[in-house]
Each structure stands twice: as structure tokens, then as C-alpha cells.
A and B are shown apart, each in its own frame.
Chain A
Amino acid sequence: MRRLLRSPKIVIGLCLSGVFGLLAIIGPLLAPYNPNTSVSTTVSVPQPPSAAHLLGTTQVQQDVLSQLLVGGRSTILVALVAGAAATALAVLFGVAAGYFGSWGDDGLSMLANIFLVLPALPLLIVIFGFLGKGANPNDVVIGVIIAITGWAFGARQLRAQTLSMRSRDFVDSARIIGEKSWRIMTFEILPNLIPVVATSFLFTVIYGVGTYTALSFLGVISTSHWSWGTMLYWAQSAQAAQQVHLEWWWFVPPGLAVGLFGTGLALLNFGIDEFVNPRLRGGTGSVSGRRARRAGLPRRAQLGLTPVLSGSIKKAS
């Protein structure tokens, strides 16, 4: 665990996603105004940030900061639900397909491959289109529907890993002892797949944020249900980016929030990847560039040779 925390990518990623997680919980309580209320009926132009409205106002004089804080909860909740549901599906299908093999594997892999190539967003638009723009959609339901289109990638990776583990000695011995299949899968195989499950979860949460934001930006989900995508929908329909007096305070905060939340999760993902496969780390071999320079190593590593530092030898002995 401490080794994980030494990676700057993991630390920054944890901080970023932690801040947004906190925002989802307490954000709506901090909102200074009701996101629907027009604070003035006489002004019809978006107002730039001021002391009263830290992020300015929209065209109908709603407080942008309040919308951002209230919309954050819905956006992050949908993304987390989508990630959790999709990962559960991926574990179920991926591990089962890899472990049992034969026709069950063929069928499940085929299903996963079909879902991988089907363009998800247009499919979701059709589904949500027919569900109608209900006045107050349920975030959990939205997340689960998004998950239906997002499980296949994780399932494929988990299947490959399970496949490579199926005939290892410890699995064989568990089978010979007479453990039941579900027990072998959950207690022998699954614990070894945790890094893959974690990356697949983070990946689908990123997917969930992007997809939910896109769907609400398109207006397929009720445009009065506040999320970061809904804010961008209204900014776009008022052509905030095309106005001569660029109304940046309206469209930059929600987009930046989506991007930063996603970046935090992606950095965590990079960090886990590098933890599992140390060769991906920056710097020469497993040593950071600065440490290598200090140790007098050549600037660029020779191919195929991992430089050994005196420090690391001492630690090993």
C-alpha cells in the first residue's frame, strides 16, 4: 500500500477524485442559491463573476456556481453507479467465461465482442429517447442503463486473465480438493484479478461521466435535471461560446469539472498500470530520470538493459 502511495500519479489521482467525491456528497449543501431560481428578472444577459455570484450567472440569471455544485452530485453518482454495475457484469461474465471455457465461453465472448463494436452513444440515445424526457429521472436507473453498454471491455480483459490462471497449480489443487466452481472463482481466482478489476472499474467510471455528460448535453435526459452536461446544454443553446463577449464562466466550469474528474481517475489508472508493469514507468528503467542523473547514469537507457543503482542493491541485500 505504501508503495502505491509513492507514485505521484496515484497521489494526484486520489486527491483529484477525492475532492470530487466530497463535492458530490456536500456540494448541494454548499450551493448559495437554488440552481433554478432567477436572481433578477430585469437583466437578460449572462453576468460575469462577481462577489455575489462567484462564477457569474446564466442567461436567465441563475447562479452558475450553485448549478455546478448541485449538478456535480448527479454527474458523479451516475458515473459511480455505471462503473459499479458495469464492473459487476464484467466480473460475472469475464471470470465465468474464462473459467468454464467451451461453448459458454464462445457465447459470452461473442456477446462481449458485439457490445464492444456497437456504437454505444447512438444506442443509448435511442433507449433514452423512448424512455422520454421525464421531469425528474432517477440517477441510479440512468447509471444502470449506461452500464449495459459499458461492461464488455472489462469482461474481455478479465476473461483473458482468468484464462491464464485457470490451469495454475493452486487452481488445480483447489479443484482436486473438491472445492466448488463458484468458490474457486471467487476465493482463488478473483483475489488475483483485483488490479484488473480496479482498472476496469476506473475505466467504466470515466466512460460513465463522459457518456452521461454527452447524453444530457444532447438533451435526451430531462434538461431541468441539473448535471454538468445539462449546464453545457443550456450554454450551448444560448451560444455562449459564440457571443462577442465570451461568456466563458458559463461553459468552462462544468466542462473543466468533467475533464478534471476524468483526469484524476485516469491518473489512478496509469498508476495502477505502472504498479503492475514497472517497465511503463517514466525515467530510465524503474528509476526516475532525476535519480538516474544523480547516480551518473546515461541520459537515455540502453535498450534491454535495466540500469542498477547502488542504492537499490543495498536495499535488496
Chain B
Amino acid sequence: MITRRMAFYIATAIVAITINFFIPRLMPGNPALAVLGRVQANESPQAIAALEVQYGVQTKTGLWGQYVQYWSHLLHGNLGISLSAYPESVGSLIRAALPWTVGLVGIATVISFLLGTLLGVAAAWRRGTWLDGLLPTMAFFQAAPYFFVAILAVALFSTKLGWFPPNSGYDTTTLNPGLNWPFISSVLDHAALPAVTIVLASIAGWIIGMRNMMITTMDEDYVLLAQAKGLPSQRVISYAARNALLPSVAGFSLAIGFIVSGALLTEIVFSYPGVGYLLFSAIGSDDYPLLQGIFLIITLAVLLANLAADFVYAFLDPRTRQEA
């Protein structure tokens, strides 16, 4: 099962890379030329030459040759040259931003999943109590954009109450990055509010999914038997919850793309020095190589997260292991 999924992820990665190659070449009105025209005025000749190679303008190589060349660049880890931060490479810019995003989004997602699942179990077990009233509220948080929740969080907790710093990843005025306590505590202090925002905005999906699955599972005969035997409710709940958990883990692959996208937007509100903020500045400065590089890296990260979820699934559900 895992090998089949891996083959699928590799196919998806190839599709993403191919899409990334063709978008600038196949859109109406040759956008690559338009891009060159837009940036020509204020770029150095080297930057323009690099762009021409990347987008296949003024070259005698055919489309297939360009595609092969694009792949060989990628496999050497070459994502092109950034326009806005010339002569920095796209790769080095993303490398600097990636740890911030992976740390923030990773931790927030794990917290959101665990907490949401627990709350979902509780909501299913205590169906018909005030917990049902939470559903419409959660629908709002699910429908409201992440960055709006983020803006509200900044307004309330940092501007109004002053509990948290409103922007950036650490105290940039007095501290230098390093493995020392002042820096680490500053990082944690700055990450708290963005993380809470991501948890708040993403938790509703887990709660609702787990509640609905749990309600269906609680009607199974084995749960009834467990209760008839007089097992304490906690044991009964854990029997039902373990099986109800499977679709949640399987649904992880659907959710992770949304969560990552939402988290990128959250970073922008907090001016958090991660990939989302980099993306925002790339849009603002028409830095097309950087935009495309970020798309590829995010796609690969999402595929890796999916693979991890598959491993967890295989661990939880023996049936999938037997098949292989």
C-alpha cells in the first residue's frame, strides 16, 4: 500500500513540475514575453539573460529540449535566480524561509489535529448537550478566511491587550539568531499568536469530521457489547474512537493543502519570516521565478506530509498492512 502511494506521489510531483514548466509558456498572449517586458526596465542584463533561459525566450532549443533542460536544472537543485533579490538564487531564499514555516505550520497542525479529534469525540459522546451549539460557531471559523482570523487576533491580543508581539519571527532589533535562550524564547513568544490562529482556523474540520464518524461508530454492535459488559465509559469511548479515527487520518491528505495555504496567508498578516511572507513579497515585486519555486517547494512539502499520514494510517489499520 505504501509503495503504491509513493508511486502516486511521485506521479503527482511530476505533474506539478510539468504544470509549472508549461504555465508561462502556454498561457494566452505569451506571458513570458510580457514578464520580460515588464521587468526589462529596471533589471540588470544578467538577470534578463537568466530569465530568458528559464522561460525559453530567444532560444533555438525546441519545447522538448527546454523541458529536458528544465528537469536537469531542477535535479541539480537549481530553481532559477530571484528577480527582486538579484543575484540571490530562488533556492537560497526559500531555504532561509522554510524552517520558520515548517516549524510553525507543523506544530500548529499537530496540535489542531489532536485537540480537534478529542473535542470531536467529546461532542459525539455528549450529543444533545450544549456542545452541539458549538457547531454553527465552528462553521463560521471554518468559513472565515485564516487571514481574517489572524487580523482579528492581532487587533485583539497584540494591539488592544498587548499580550503578544504583532509581527516578525523574533525580536530583530536586539537579538541575533543563535542557539541561546533569549533568542529561542523570543521565537516562541512571536510564534504563539500565529500558531493559535492556525489552530483556531483549522480545528473545526477535525471536530466536525470526528464527531460525525464517532456517532456512526457508536451505533456498531461491538460498542453496544462493550457497554453491555459494563466496561467503564472511558474504555468504551476509546474502543469507538480508535476506529472512528481512521477517516480523519485519511482525510488529512485533503486538509493539509488547505491548512498550508491558510498558514501562508497567516504569516503575511504577522509579517512572519516564512515562505508565505516570501510569497507575498514575490507577488508584490513580480518575481516570477521565486513564485514558481515556492509553488514547487510547497507542493513537495505537502506530498511529504501526505506520505507521513499514510505511514500513520498503515500503523493504525492492520488491514492495509496485510494487503502488501
Contact = CB atoms under 8 A, between A and B. Distances in A.
23 contacts: A118-B302, A119-B260, A119-B261, A123-B16, A126-B20, A126-B23, A126-B291, A129-B283, A130-B27, A130-B35, A210-B145, A217-B145, A218-B265, A218-B268, A236-B151, A241-B159, A262-B140, A270-B135, A279-B215, A283-B127, A303-B224, A303-B227, A304-B220
A195 interface: no
A151 B140 CA distance: 23
Interface stretch (B7-15, B75-83, B107-115, B175-183): B7-15
A119 B159 contact: no
B89 interface: no
B298 A119 contact: yes
A246 B35 CA distance: 39
B139 interface: yes
A266 B139 contact: yes
Given A120-B261, A125-B291, A206-B143, A258 B148 contact: yes
A199 to B, nearest CB: 13
Nearest to B286: A129
A5 interface: no
- Which bracket fits the contact residues of B? 35 or more
A57 B254 CA distance: 40
Nearest to A255: B148
A299 interface: yes
B288 A282 contact: no
Nearest to B224: A304
A217 B154 contact: no
Contact of B144 (A116, A118, A258, A303): A258
- Which bracket fits the contact residues of A? 35 or more
Name the 10 nearest CB pairs between A and B, nearest first: A262-B143, A259-B144, A255-B148, A121-B261, A282-B132, A130-B31, A304-B224, A289-B128, A266-B139, A241-B155
B143 A258 contact: yes
Interface in B105-154: 126-129, 132, 135-136, 139-145, 147-148, 151-152, 154
Given A217-B147, A258-B145, A125 B283 contact: yes
Interface in A249-276: 251-252, 255-256, 258-263, 265-267, 270, 273
Contact of B294 (A122, A127, A217, A236): A122
Contacts of B221: 304
A266 B137 CA distance: 11
A242 interface: yes
Contacts of B269: 236, 241
Interface string B290-307: 011011001100110010
B195 to A, nearest CB: 18
| Most chain A Cβ neighbours within 10 Å, of B148, B167, B292 | B148
Contact of A116 (B151, B227, B254): B254
A110 B9 CA distance: 11
Given A110-B11, A214-B145, A220-B283, A279 B219 contact: yes
Contacts of B302: 117-119
A114 B254 CA distance: 11
A300 B131 CA distance: 13
B279 A125 contact: yes
Contacts of A259: 140-141, 143-145, 148
B148 to A, nearest CB: 3
B34 interface: yes
Contacts of A12: 136
**What is the predominant secondary structure among interface residues of chain A facing chain B?**
helix
A131 interface: yes
A218 B151 contact: no
Contact of A265 (B126, B141, B143, B159): B143
A132 B135 CA distance: 40
Contacts of B186: none
A242 B8 contact: no
B160 interface: yes
Nearest to B16: A118
Contacts of A304: 218-221, 223-224
Interface in A261-317: 261-263, 265-267, 270, 273, 279-280, 282-284, 288-289, 292, 299-304
A3 B284 CA distance: 51
A156 B12 CA distance: 17
B128 A123 contact: no
A292 B148 CA distance: 39
Interface string A15-52: 00000000000000000000000000000000000000
A114 B15 contact: yes
Interface string A201-218: 000001001100110011
Contacts of A258: 143-145, 148
Contact of B283 (A210, A219, A248, A262): A219
B253 interface: yes
B319 to A, nearest CB: 19
Contacts of B260: 119
A284 B151 contact: no
B221 to A, nearest CB: 7
Given A279-B219, A301-B128, A132 B145 contact: no
A186 interface: no
B245 interface: no
A260 B140 contact: yes
